[in-house]
Amino acid sequence: MSKKIKWGILGCGRIARKFADDLSLSKTGYLYACASRDKENAQNFADKYGAEKIFTDYESLANCKEIDAIYIATPHSHHFEHTALCLNVKKAVLCEKPLSVNQQLTDQLFDLARQNHVLLMEAMWTAFLPGIIAVKNEIQKGTIGHVRHLTADFGFQGSFDPKGRLYDINLAGGSLLDIGIYPLFISIYLLGMPENLYASGHIIDTGVDDECAILLQYSNSATAALYSTVSMMTDTKCEIFGTKGKILIPGRFHEQSCYFLETENGSQKVEAGKSGHGYYHEIEHFNQCLFNNILESNVMNHKMSQNIAKLMDLTRKKIGLTYPWD
């Protein structure tokens, strides 16, 4: 392994640009190459972010011997294909969330990673933010007592395009996979896996959900109310209510650098900070895994991603959302 991790970025869209911004802050890795099927797009991306090489096909990027790790930034519908491509040539992969469109394919990817003895991690960047980690520590310390209820939402007003990534069934569109994954993640991260799941959603003419509401019930009587939508703006906040107080992660909770703590001792705002857009923290974690020959993250481990996929599958079944590959 080189002194710095040489990264390749597969797909040069909006999320890839944010990732590249934060990769430029890293002291342990840098952007070496990028790939887009549009040569002009790849060249513009490389020029802006300083990539040494460009590729116009993903196979050439995957097979580039100089590259240590690849970030997958293509639409959800292509995550399985592109991740498998890289794993099969023994490249470490950080794949944008969701890792795949269902649990069956997610399991297959982790099996493939184990077979090839390479690191695979779902890019759930929220898990690595200092503020989110601090909130988990507060809960584990019992600062707000026993958690009885959690609420989390994520909503924005999308611009409807039947062939766009958010609305096309063939691109695994819909609110659940794109943004509903964040409320689901935060509930699993803070409370664990639920005993029961109830869900209601609205399916639009293109076959995807434009809103989804989920209720989780836990064996200790705790509950979580989760909501996602691409039809309107919501607060995009998370509140955790305990027997001795509450924690508010304000909007947008999935990328926040602070939280508000309320207990019998009063209220306070806690600043935890973050670097760049926030992707920096998962990048550094992934790089350290590579430096130490670790094949499974201790934060976004295989089980966490499998649990997220399991709950999303169950939610889709309950709201009647099916994809062509189901």
Asked if residue 2 has pLDDT above 80, the reply is no
| Residue 23 phi, psi dihedral angles, 5° rounding | -65, -30
Domains of the chain by range and CATH? Answer: 5-126+279-297 (3.40.50.720), 127-275+308-319 (3.30.360.10)
The pLDDT tens digits for 84-100 are: 999 999 999 999 999 99
On whether the CB atoms of residues 234 and 254 are closer than 8 A, the answer is: no
**Two tokens, residue 157:** 């007003």
Vertex 14: Cα angle to 13 and 17 (nearest 5): 90
The pLDDT tens digits for 66-122 are: 999 999 999 999 999 999 999 999 999 999 999 999 999 999 999 999 999 999 999
pTM of the full structure? 0.96
The pLDDT tens digits for 198-227 are: 999 999 999 999 999 999 999 999 999 999
